[in-house]
Amino acid sequence: MKAAKILRLLLAVTALGALCVAPALAQRGKWWQDERFRQELGLTPEQTSRLEEIFQKHQPKLREHMRVLDQAEDQLNRLIEKGDDASVMAHMGVVEAARAELNKTRTLMLLRMRRSLTADQWAKFTALASARNRRGRAPNGGPQ
């Protein structure tokens, strides 16, 4: 019974963490390559190149952090299956630390991207991203 409670707690923490990460749109795709976004924001070719450069610079770290998080979650799932509550509780910190590193790197990337936009472009981006998220449509056809 304790393992079921721990699993429910873990799922709740994971769901909350998903809500607290950087803007969902930026996680789903290369919005700066989306024709509608480029036109409506008035992105210059230089800005588009800069955004891609920032994205490419951060991808190796993001992939590595994702790999570490996946491994930590896999280990946690194995511990949950064994029913060893103490080990599960101890390993939850490892999982959340890995998730935090991934989110910090993603947030830093998004901050640098934000600085590549003018205040007007950022305001337009925020409105477009909100509208797209409400419709539930990912740019470029799917997750990044």
Q: What per-residue confidence (pLDDT) applies to 20?
A: 34
Task: Count up the domains in the chain and report the number.
Answer: 1
- Does 31 reside within a domain? no
Q: Is residue 99 in a domain?
A: yes
The CA-CA-CA angle for residues 79, 82, 84, to 5°, reads: 70
Q: How far is CA 23 from the centre of its chain?
A: 8
Is residue 100 one of the residues assigned to a domain?
A: yes
Q: Does residue 111 sit within a domain?
A: yes
Could you tell me if residue 102 is inside a domain?
yes
Q: 69 near 61, Cβ under 8 Å?
A: no
Per-residue pLDDT of the chain (144 residues; tens, 9 = 90+): 455 555 444 443 343 333 333 344 344 579 899 898 899 999 999 999 999 999 999 999 999 999 999 999 999 999 999 988 999 999 999 999 999 999 999 999 999 999 999 999 999 998 888 887 888 755 544 443
**pLDDT for the residue numbered 28:** 56
Q: Is residue 40 part of a domain?
A: no
Q: What is the per-residue pLDDT for 7?
A: 46
* Domain-embedded: residue 60: yes
In a domain, 88, yes or no: yes
pLDDT for residue 29: 77
Task: Specify the pLDDT at position 52.
Answer: 97
Q: Give residue 135's pLDDT.
A: 81
pTM for this predicted structure: 0.68
For 76, the domain range is 1-18+48-126
